[in-house]
Amino acid sequence: MQTQAKPTQTGRLEVRQPLKVVAIGDSLVYGYGDPVGGGWVEGLRRQWMGDYQSGHVLYNLGIRGDRVAQVSQRLAGEFRYRGELRNRVPDLIILSVGVNDSARLRQPDGRLFTEFEQFSQQISDLLDQAQKLCPVLFVGMVPVDEDKMPFLNCFYFNHFDQYRYKEAVKTACEARQIPYLDIFDLWLGQPATWRRSRLSDDGLHPNVLGYETLRQDILNWEPIAQLDW
């Protein structure tokens, strides 16, 4: 019988057996910028894998450069092929995507990579699609270093647009009772020197320390913390 992780009235997942978990999204899921630990998903996978009898199984389905539209296109197919055993599918989806959509193209005031209204509709569709598959968690974006822009001499990221886009995601998650971890506000509340020390030279991706910090933030997040029993 398929193991199920069912949310209780408090929003917690009732966990009785090791879970099959998929983390799907962009480079933050992929772990780009961390040649040592492989990113927060890999760190969490190694931690859970340490218990061979009861550790959760975690699949990294991050693709660099993905926007919400690309994640939506591959979500159902990737989900259904990550159950390990025939006729089984994963128990939990962790989503993390949206920062690439917020970029401005070619110049600081250029057009948005994904227009805001279109993004809002796409994120709503993605969350609805994901919730039909299994319980969902969402890890928000990391604030960039604006002084290092543009990324790849083309993409201009800034905190103002990042905030608008992450708030759209946060609101959509709240409307669907999907737990949302607001990494943007959490990190922006730290001194600028603290943030810069956790970002790669490109100003966009976390570095080794940044991903370790992100992993700890996620481990301390109640929806993840309660998975470790």
> Which residues are bridge partners to 137 per DSSP?
94
pLDDT at 87: 60
Mean pLDDT score, 27-54: 88
106-115 residue pLDDT tens? 999 999 999 9
pLDDT at residue 229 tops 70: no
pLDDT at 101: 97
Higher pLDDT among residues 17 and 35, named by residue: 35
Higher pLDDT among residues 19 and 229, named by residue: 19
Give me the residue spans of the domains in the chain: 18-225
Lowest-confidence pick of 20-34, 41-55, 116-130, 152-166? 41-55
Higher pLDDT among residues 59 and 227, named by residue: 59
pLDDT at 12: 53
> What's domain 18-225's architecture?
3-Layer(aba) Sandwich (3.40)
> Which residues are bridge partners to 138 per DSSP?
95, 180
pLDDT at residue 138 tops 60: yes
Residues 6 or more apart whose CB falls under 8 angstroms from that of 94 comprise 21, 22, 23, 24, 29, 41, 136, 137, 138, 139
The DSSP annotation for 173-216 comes to HHHTT--EE-HHHHHHTS-HHHHHTTB-TTSSSB-HHHHHHHHH
Largest CA distance in the chain: 54
pLDDT at residue 142 tops 90: yes
Give the C-alpha separation, 26 to 115, whole Å.
Answer: 18
Look at the alpha carbons of 158, 159, 160, 165 in this order and tell me if their dihedral is positive or negative: positive
192-207 residue pLDDT tens? 999 999 999 999 999 9
Higher pLDDT among residues 57 and 141, named by residue: 141
- Model confidence, pTM: 0.89
pLDDT at 81: 80
Mean pLDDT score, 14-38: 88
Rg of the chain (C-alpha set)? 17
Exposure string of 20-56, with b = 16+ CB inside 10 Å and e = fewer, is bbbbbbbbbbbbbbbeeebbbbbbbbeebeeeeeebb
Give the C-alpha separation, 152 to 227, whole Å.
Answer: 38
Does residue 152 sit in helix, strand or coil? coil
Higher pLDDT among residues 9 and 49, named by residue: 49
Mean pLDDT score, 32-40: 96
pLDDT at 59: 92
pLDDT at 55: 79
Give the closest residue to 69 by CA, choosing from 134, 30, 120: 120
